[in-house]
């Protein structure tokens, strides 16, 4: 491997939560992890919102700042844990008043405003089921998800409601209540004012008994490889959120923490709301969108210590800061509070890990998980070495393996049995042993699909990976994206990652294009650094660069320049769309395509 292993010194004064990986794994049990949480008073169960909010108030930590919400206009609203307890109690009471109860689905369609956090946690207190929608979804995806998820309540704003829901109300007979945050409810028939309802409701609420198996959250997947699926999660998931945030994000109670993912996606919920609040940290919430200078400013001004973001965002920062400005970044912004950086969602190319080390003064810790797993499953830990390009090792409590794959790239199942790959470095389907607390309990209305994800006592992730001799996992690709070319199996990530090391390339998306001789040839779509011309000479140079790095069997045979690679709203390159466009095939479900309405 071209990159040195990074040995990270622990942050002075902050010993990592996980120091000895082997020892921690062998000592760990989920039931011990459960005991780090309080449970509902009187032993009446386990409720995410109690753990995230009320227990801090019950133990004299109510005065601590829970949320620091940075508005688009840079105004900052702070909310203490005690205040959050009152606001969420009011919302839970309001729901109860409306006759909304256990198991009823409450959807949010909101930007990252303080009311979103009230609605999410208040819903959980009321033992209703929360389903967050990304506020940039257009009317079709919103309607589709409200229908699929049997929405009873929608919390949104007047503008979003008018643009995306009002016309569709007739097709949503189950949608009993629409609550409008901010002004405008009075002009919108069939809606109520969130502010008036909550203002009138009492600020004390006793959380009803909650079974750890009660449904808490419904999350739609990113739709990277097909139509989004609704994954069902239960209150017990909070045990895994808490434990993994401790190990993989190294959260300490005194931390200021920023997760840049929108709560419309599972990362923004599990690690953007639940886990950090359960840890009692101060959570920075940015209502604004990505902007390199804004992000550096927030990191600096809010004194962010722990930062959880996505590879695309890091690559956008790399694009902004490289060149002339490269060395100015740390000087212009005081990032001295930053002590831990992690990323998730897509492969983190080694160059981005090393960039973190050089520019932020910290390497980026990649970790891997899915909407279905509900929590981080494989991670690079604060106290352990990083192998750039590797997603790390299973979190304590997780058992992972690599399964031999069959013709279609997925695990080979023979008479119901699978075979684990024993040889290090051999690719196969990544699988996990079911039984961790935040494991999804089903796909909404799709039992068959859910059952098909299990074989021989394993949960099959649909991702391909290899494990090295020391147990580090390396992401190869999604089974659906893997390219068979002249008898080789090519993972697009490997090719993309190599191309991104070329100074002219910012991002790449790689697909297989059918070819009568090779079966498929590898084709790369690349976006270039601003100011770089897409010339035939550069194309030749990139082809040669690819061959040198990857060898002729894996290197791209064709390069196309594309400054707007299609990506999901959660930031992932949509290779299936690149492929469909290239081959003139139907484009499939585009509800999560960035920029679509
Ligand atoms: P869909 O299932 O609808 O196609 P999706 O799989 O993108 O969408 P998510 O659950 O949001 O939906 O994403 C999980 C997937 O993201 C993983 O299965 C994996 O393919 C990819 N992923 C997540 N983290 C990493 C990582 N650190 N490295 C590589 N890939 C990752
Ligand atoms: Mg998926």
Distance separating alpha carbons of residues 269 and 280, to the nearest angstrom: 15
Distances (CA, A) of 4 to 7, 79, 132: 9, 43, 40
Same domain, 229 and 95: yes
Q: What is the pLDDT along the chain (597 residues), one digit of tens a residue?
A: 334 566 555 566 789 999 999 999 999 999 999 999 999 999 999 999 999 999 999 999 999 999 999 999 999 999 999 999 999 999 999 999 999 999 999 999 999 999 999 999 999 999 999 999 999 898 999 999 999 999 999 999 999 999 999 999 999 999 999 999 999 999 999 999 999 999 999 999 999 999 999 999 999 998 877 778 999 999 999 999 999 999 999 999 999 999 999 999 999 999 999 999 999 999 999 999 998 889 999 999 999 999 999 998 998 888 775 445 554 566 788 999 999 999 999 999 998 998 898 888 899 999 999 999 999 999 999 999 999 999 999 999 999 999 999 888 899 999 999 999 999 999 999 999 999 999 999 999 999 999 999 999 999 999 999 999 999 999 999 998 889 888 888 889 989 999 999 999 989 999 999 998 888 999 999 999 888 999 999 999 999 999 999 988 899 999 999 999 999 888 889 999 999 999 999 888 888 898 776
Residues 114 and 220 in one domain: yes
Distance 464 CA to ligand 2 centre (A): 12
Choose the residue to mutate in 224, 344, 576 for probing ligand 1, maximizing ligand atoms within 8 Å of C-beta. 224
Span from the CA of 440 to the centroid of ligand 2 (angstroms): 12
| Residue ranges lining ligand 1, Cβ < 6 Å | 221-226, 228-229, 344-347, 366-368, 370-371, 391, 461, 463, 475, 478, 570, 572
Q: What is the largest CA-CA distance in the chain?
A: 72
Atom of ligand 1 nearest to the CA of 372: 10
Atom from ligand 1 closest to the CA of residue 231: 10
Same domain, 514 and 500: yes
Q: 486 with 463, same domain?
A: no
For residue 303, the CA-to-ligand 2 centroid distance in Å is 34
The protein residue whose alpha carbon is closest to atom 3 in ligand 1 is 223
For every residue of 115-174, DSSP letters joined together read: HHHHHHHHHHHTT-EEEEEETT--HHHHHHHHHHTTEEEEEEEHHHHHHHTGGGGGG-TT
Single out the residue in 204, 221, 236 at which a domain terminates. Answer: 236
Listed residues 203, 236, 269: the one ending a domain: 236
Among 309, 346, 381, name the best residue to mutate to test ligand 1's pocket (greatest count of ligand atoms within 8 A of Cβ).
Answer: 346
- What one-character-per-residue DSSP string does 318-381 give? HHHHSGGGGGGHHHHS--TT--EEEE-SS---HHHHHHIIIIISS-EEEEE--TTT-S--EE--
CATH number assigned to the domain comprising residue 502: 3.30.300.30
The CA 291 to ligand 2 mean position distance, Å, reads 27
Phi, psi of 217 (to 5 degrees): -135, 145
Distance 344 CA to ligand 1 centre (A): 8
- CA of 568, closest atom in ligand 1: 7
Give residue 359's pLDDT.
85
Ligand 1 centre from 372 Cα, in Å? 10
**Protein residue with its CA nearest to atom 13 in ligand 1:** 370
Q: Are 181 and 157 in contact (CB under 8 A)?
A: yes
Is-contact 250 340, C-beta < 8 A? Answer: yes
Same domain flag for 411 and 446? yes
- Give a yes or no: residue 23 inside a domain: no
How many domains, in total, are found in the chain?
3
Asked if 428 and 515 sit in the same domain, the reply is: no
Instruction: Give pLDDT tens digits for 298-328.
Output: 999 999 999 999 998 998 888 775 445 554 5
Q: Which residue, judged by its Cα, is nearest atom 18 of ligand 1?
A: 370
Whether 468 and 488 share a structural domain: no
As a whole number of angstroms, the distance between CA 571 and CA 296 comes to 19
- Cα(539) to ligand 1 centroid in Å equals 30
Nearest Cα to Cα of residue 245 among 306, 299, 329: 306
* Domain containing residue 94: CATH number: 3.40.50.980
pLDDT at site 432: 98
Shared-domain flag, residues 458 and 493 = no
pTM over 0.85: yes
Residue 157 covered by a domain: yes
pLDDT at 302: 98
248 closest CA partner among 566, 32, 48, 18: 18
Residue 37 maps to a domain: no
Shortest-distance atom of ligand 1 to CA 265: 11
Residue of 347, 341, 366 lying closest to 500 (CA atoms): 347
Pocket probe for ligand 1: among 141, 345, 391, 593, the residue whose CB has the most ligand atoms within 8 Å is 345
489 & 443 share domain: no
**What's the 197 CA to ligand 1 centre distance in angstroms?**
38
Nearest CA to ligand 1 atom 14: 370
Q: Which atom of ligand 1 is nearest to the CA of 367?
A: 27
Pocket test for ligand 1, best of 141, 219, 222 (most atoms within 8 A of CB): 222
Judge whether 351 lies within some domain: no
Q: Work out the number of other CB atoms within 10 angstroms of the CB of residue 331.
A: 8
Q: Whose CA is nearest to atom 17 of ligand 1?
A: 370
**Residue 493: which domain range?**
482-583
Is there a domain that residue 272 lies in?
no
């Amino acid at each position: 491997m071209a990159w040195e292993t990074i040995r990270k010194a622990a942050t002075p004064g902050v010993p990592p939560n996980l120091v000895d990986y082997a020892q921690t794994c062998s000592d760990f049990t989920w039931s011990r992890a459960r005991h780090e949480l309080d449970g509902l008073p009187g032993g009446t169960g386990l409720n995410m919102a109690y753990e995230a909010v009320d227990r801090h108030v019950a133990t004299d930590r109510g005065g601590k700042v829970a949320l620091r919400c940075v508005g688009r206009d840079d105004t900052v609203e702070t909310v203490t844990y005690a205040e959050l307890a009152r606001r969420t109690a009011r919302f839970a009471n309001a729901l109860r008043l409306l006759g909304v109860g256990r198991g009823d689905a409450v959807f949010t369609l909101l930007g990252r405003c303080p009311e979103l956090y009230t609605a999410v946690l208040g819903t959980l207190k009321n033992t209703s089921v929360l389903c967050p929608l990304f506020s940039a979804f257009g009317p079709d995806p919103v309607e589709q998800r409200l229908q699929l998820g049997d929405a009873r309540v929608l919390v949104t704003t007047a503008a979003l409601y008018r643009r995306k829901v009002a016309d569709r109300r007739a097709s949503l007979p189950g949608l009993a209540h629409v609550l409008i945050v901010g002004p405008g409810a009075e002009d919108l028939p069939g809606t109520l004012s969130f502010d008036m309802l909550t203002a009138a409701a009492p600020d004390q609420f006793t959380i009803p008994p909650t079974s750890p198996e009660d449904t808490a959250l419904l999350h739609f997947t990113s739709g990277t490889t097909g139509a989004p699926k609704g994954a069902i999660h239960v209150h017990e998931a909070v045990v895994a959120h808490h434990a993994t945030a401790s190990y993989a994000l190294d959260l300490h109670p005194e931390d200021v923490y920023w997760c840049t993912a929108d709560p419309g996606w599972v990362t923004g919920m599990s690690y953007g709301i639940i886990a950090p609040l359960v840890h009692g940290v101060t959570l920075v919430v940015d209502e604004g969108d990505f902007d390199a200078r804004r992000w550096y400013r927030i990191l600096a001004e809010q004194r962010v210590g722990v930062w959880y973001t996505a590879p695309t965002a890091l690559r956008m920062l790399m694009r902004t800061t490289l060149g002339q400005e490269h060395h100015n970044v740390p000087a212009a912004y005081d990032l001295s509070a930053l002590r831990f950086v992690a990323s998730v969602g897509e492969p983190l190319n080694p160059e981005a890990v090393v960039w973190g080390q050089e520019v932020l003064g910290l390497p980026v810790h990649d970790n891997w998980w899915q909407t279905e797993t509900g929590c981080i499953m494989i991670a690079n830990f604060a106290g352990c070495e990083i192998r750039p390009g590797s997603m790390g090792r299973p979190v304590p409590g997780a058992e992972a393996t690599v399964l031999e794959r069959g013709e279609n790239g997925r695990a080979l199942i023979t008479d119901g049995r699978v075979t684990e790959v024993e040889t290090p470095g051999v690719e196969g389907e990544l699988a996990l042993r079911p039984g961790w607390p935040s494991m999804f309990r089903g796909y909404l209305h799709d039992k068959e699909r859910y059952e098909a994800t299990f074989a021989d006592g394993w949960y099959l992730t649909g991702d391909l990976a290899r494990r090295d001799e020391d147990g580090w996992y390396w992401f190869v690709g999604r089974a659906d994206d893997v390219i068979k070319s002249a008898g080789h199996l090519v993972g697009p990530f490997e090719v993309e990652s190599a191309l991104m090391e070329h100074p002219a390339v910012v991002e790449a998306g790689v697909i297989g294009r059918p070819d009568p001789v090779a079966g498929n040839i590898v084709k790369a779509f690349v976006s270039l650094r601003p100011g770089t011309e897409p010339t035939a000479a550069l194309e030749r140079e990139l082809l040669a660069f690819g061959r040198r790095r990857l060898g002729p069997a894996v290197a791209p045979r064709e390069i196309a320049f594309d400054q707007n690679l299609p990506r999901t709203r959660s930031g992932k390159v949509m290779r299936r769309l690149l492929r469909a466009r290239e081959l003139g095939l139907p484009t499939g479900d585009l509800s999560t395509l960035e920029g679509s309405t």
